[in-house]
Structure 1
Amino acid sequence: MEPVKFLPQRAPIEQFGAGGFRFAGMSHQGGLLVLPSGMRAWPIRSLAEMTADHFAPMIAEKDAIDFVLVGTGATMARLPAPVTAFLREQGLSFDAMATSPAIHIYNVTVVEGRRVAAAFLPVDRANV
């Protein structure tokens, strides 16, 4: 089953927290995957759930991506070793950090028109 596609383009994240994200006047609870083809639900809520398979939609579009940001939730954490190895094998440049700074960097790069993709785990605290 293909994940719900919210928007057929990338857009800045307007707000996040309380387990979700707001972008382009829309609201979503849970993880968010941002690809050149659009923004969609990402079916994980924590690093413990993350596998290389969760990045399959990103790999399908890797020729249109120069850099990947991964938001790891409320705190900075390393990606699971198999995920790191998989992304490197696929030739993707990436950086993992807490979701808050990842969103700030993403917003700047998307406004600049750069070829960025992102995978954001939600942050549960309110009013971030």
Structure 2
Amino acid sequence: MMAPRFERDPQASGPVVQGFAAGGFTVDGGVYRALLLTPDSAHGWEPPALAELEIGHLEALLGGGPEFLLLGTGAKMAFPPRRLVRDLEARGIGIEAMDSRAAARAWGMLRAEDRRIVAALLPL
């Protein structure tokens, strides 16, 4: 079975998740087990367990004043820690949590709308 591939939306700028391969996310020819996305860049990262995720783990994403954080919670949808939600809201940043595959697909659609978002995708 071939891994799903996504076509780049011609209106989307910046990195776009192109598919899933080798247990990770494919972006611009690289494969990342876990991924941080901004409108300008994609970086691999070593996230903590979801229950231990804090705003400090995400500081690299938050400097540009995003509208919200798209959080991929791994293989299944799970709720983010309440403290993380409160800390983001205190900065005026929303959070949308979903499983990491859905978050990767949503990233491309929202970037095509030129939304000021960031994403943190935990491993599949």
TM-score category (smaller protein): 0.7 to 0.9
The alignment status of 1:73 with 2:77, answered yes or no, reads no
Residue 36 of structure 1, aligned match among 39, 62, 67: 39
The equivalent position to 1:22 in structure 2, one of 14, 26, 31, is 26
* Aligned AA (2:98): M
Q: Residues 1-128 of structure 1 correspond to what in structure 2 (within 5 A)?
A: 10-16=14-20, 18-29=22-33, 31-44=34-47, 46-62=49-65, 65-123=66-124
State the AA in 1 paired with 2:25: F
Instruction: Extract unaligned runs of 5+ from structure 2.
Output: 1-12
Aligned equivalents of 1:122, 1:16: Cα separation in 2: 11
Instruction: Report how many aligned residue pairs link the two structures.
Output: 112
TM-score by length of 1: 0.76
Identity %: 31
Instruction: Assess, with a 3 A threshold, how the Cα gap between structure 1 residues 12 and 82 changes in structure 2: closer, same or farther.
Output: same
Decide whether the 8 Å contact of 2:51 with 2:80 is kept in 1: no
Conserved? CA contact 1:33–1:40, under 8 Å: yes
SS of aligned partner of 2:44: strand
Bigger strand share: 1
> Aligned partners of 2:49 and 2:14: how far apart in 1?
23
Tell me how far apart the structure 2 counterparts of residues 107 and 37 of structure 1 sit (CA, whole Å).
13
Q: Which residue does the alignment assign to 2:4?
A: none
Is the contact made by 2:15 and 2:40 (CA closer than 8 Å) also made in structure 1? no
CA distance in 1, matches of 2:82, 2:21: 27
CA offsets 1:2-61 (integer angstroms, 9 cap, x no match): xxxxxxx732101125442111122223x2111134111222153134122111112222
- Which 5+ residue runs of structure 1 have no aligned equivalent? 1-8, 124-128
CA distance in 1, matches of 2:48, 2:121: 9
